[in-house]
Structure 1
Amino acid sequence: MESQGQGGQGGQVVVQLILEHFGGLKDPRVARTKRHALSNVLVMALCAVIAGADGWEGLAQFARSRAQWLASFLDMPHGVPCADTFRRVLCALHPQAFEACMRRWMQALAREVRGQVVAVDGKSVRGALSKTLAGSPLHLVHVWASEQRLLLAQQAVAGAPGEVAAIPELLAQLQLQGAVVTVDANGCTAKVAQAVVHAGADYVLHLKGNRGPLYSHVKDMFAPVRANPEASHSGVDTHSRSVSKGHGRREVRTAWAVALRPEDLPPSAHKWPRLRTAVLLRRERTLKGKVSQEWHYYLSSLPPQARKLTGLIRGHWGVENGLHWCLDVCMGEDSRTIRHFNGAQNFAVLSRIALTLLRREKTLKAGVPTRRKKAGWDTDYLLRVLLAGFPEN
């Protein structure tokens, strides 16, 4: 779909798109304080974040500078909101309801995830400190479709330990049939494995010492391999080795996969549905002549195919480069000092929608920071970014 000049019909289409996904959102204000329609506030805020705004004053500055353009498709009898209005509205909106609107929008953009990695990982927004959590940063759990580079859902939790309870709730709200859900050590629990299987997906979970007897069992099982990794081991079902190079670094990944027999596992493992395979992964990095080595253990519901499992494990880290790094470097998230907990969560939702739309717009061959600048300079381009929020035909 193409934009229609400076606002006009193209802008009206954008308004309809916003209303389609956010129209059911409850306006938290009392009637006498509603000088600006909630839909107007949301449209202006999203446009501003796409164009580089990073706080309440930035939202207001964008609205003032583009007031004429906004008025070409918005009914604005009272002009544009001030910074305090943006702050009050976005701090008053219920974060879970706002995130649910984003989730529905992102799922409308998503393609089928069958056979693809869906990575679950947490990220702290270090500039957003919560008064309710003794000054700790806002911590969000993300569900990321790695191949599609699309955020499917997020939820605020009480730091990394709170991820365990949030992950099953998030997975239950998504269409994950046939996907491979990957989770780091915080979420390596029987309840998470149960939630993945209940969603019709498989899992690859990073196993560490916090899993007690199960970790000890897997560690002891792979002890001969770690003692002599170059030898052949009769207990190993499959073995793989891959090498990658880039930016002056060489990394060798060697994996060993073993089928787990239920009768050999500790009693605590019987709570894990379809637990089928244990993986040992060694990562050797060479950078500027210095060699470092790491060993990692994983549990999976998939067959013991070392090469395939190594690829899935590597796919998990797409959430770090494809989402977390971009939010910090391209969207300036860690330096954004919004202290209100609800406001920080809701601004984070706007940032993630903006990042998604900026990436989906394909006419400008440039990185996200350049695209944001272009959107601030050129309203026709900003409309093209917004219209990228429609599902592809």
Structure 2
Amino acid sequence: MELKKLMEHISIIPDYRQPWKVEHKLSDILLLTICAVISDAEGWEDIEGFGETHLDFLKQYGDFENGIPVHDTIARVVSCISPAKFHECFINLMRDCHSSDDKDVIAIDGKTPPGHSYDKSRRRGAIHVISAFSTMHSLVIGQIKTDKKSNEITAIPELINMLDIKRKIITTDAMGCRKILQRRYKNRDVIIYSR
């Protein structure tokens, strides 16, 4: 992933903080957070620690005029960004980095992450995520959250449309193939295999 491209895409995320209180640019905080999480940071303090040890590297792509923000600032700022805008940023970045002429195979599958089973106290069902995985780049290029496993059938076409996948081989399970195959076969822009 090119970090210069990442910085371009991050710029679409609005910063809702009061300008006179801003000590660290939103783009710097997001660059720091993304790089740290990719490098296995598991919490806000890990992200701050990553920034302190990799400040020279981070300065190649961001300003970091006031150094690395403390973990409380990182947590507060990240919690205030729009999830929809961040999702849009991520999808656009993946489209930009993932050229359409690749001989790539996209594996689409749904999973319920461990530890996210039914919550009786809140009467909430398990979180189910549909992911599109680029086998060539070993990277998840898009995800959609669904409430129930049965929504996988409707979520897969939505994920394919969102990622604008064309001229690719897509693999999915038999459940995922039922309706997509009929719809996409006419366009002949993807081949879908059932595992």
Normalising by structure 2, what TM-score?
0.75
Determine which of 106, 127, 143 is the counterpart of 1:154. Answer: 143
Q: Which runs of 4+ in 1 moved over 6 A?
A: 128-131
Higher strand proportion: 1
Matched, 1:143 2:132: yes
Distance 2:56 2:137 in 1: 36
Cα gap change, 1:48/1:118 in structure 2, threshold over 3 Å: closer, same or farther? closer
C-alpha RMSD of the superposition: 3.3
| Aligned residues of 1:116 and 1:147 also touching (Cα < 8 A) | yes
Task: Give deviations 1:305-326, integer Å, cap 9, x for gaps.
Answer: xxxxxxxx4xxxxxxxxxxxxx
Determine which of 35, 40, 48 is the counterpart of 1:52. Answer: 40
Number of aligned positions between the proteins: 191
Unaligned runs of 5+ in 1: 1-12, 206-312, 314-393
Higher relative contact order (CA 8 A, sep 6+): 1
Letter in 1 for 2:63: D
Letter in 1 for 2:161: A
Cα gap change, 1:179/1:60 in structure 2, threshold over 3 Å: closer, same or farther? same
Distance 1:33 1:199 in 2: 53
Distance 2:164 2:191 in 1: 13
Determine which of 32, 35, 42 is the counterpart of 2:23. Answer: 35
Determine which of 89, 98, 110 is the counterpart of 1:110. Answer: 98
Task: Give deviations 1:291-316, integer Å, cap 9, x for gaps.
Answer: xxxxxxxxxxxxxxxxxxxxxx4xxx
Matched, 1:176 2:165: yes
Distance 2:135 2:60 in 1: 38
Task: Give deviations 1:101-142, integer Å, cap 9, x for gaps.
Answer: 2222222332446775322102333356898x7455543211
What are the equivalent positions in structure 2 for 1:368-387 lying under 5 Å apart? none
Cα gap change, 1:32/1:195 in structure 2, threshold over 3 Å: closer, same or farther? farther
| Aligned residues of 1:18 and 1:39 also touching (Cα < 8 A) | no
Q: Secondary structure at the match of 1:151?
A: strand
Q: Secondary structure at the match of 1:173?
A: helix
Q: Secondary structure at the match of 2:114?
A: strand
Q: Secondary structure at the match of 2:113?
A: strand
Normalising by structure 1, what TM-score?
0.41
Distance 1:34 1:139 in 2: 37
In our comparison, the structure showing a higher alpha carbon Rg is 1
Letter in 2 for 1:123: K
Unaligned runs of 5+ in 2: none
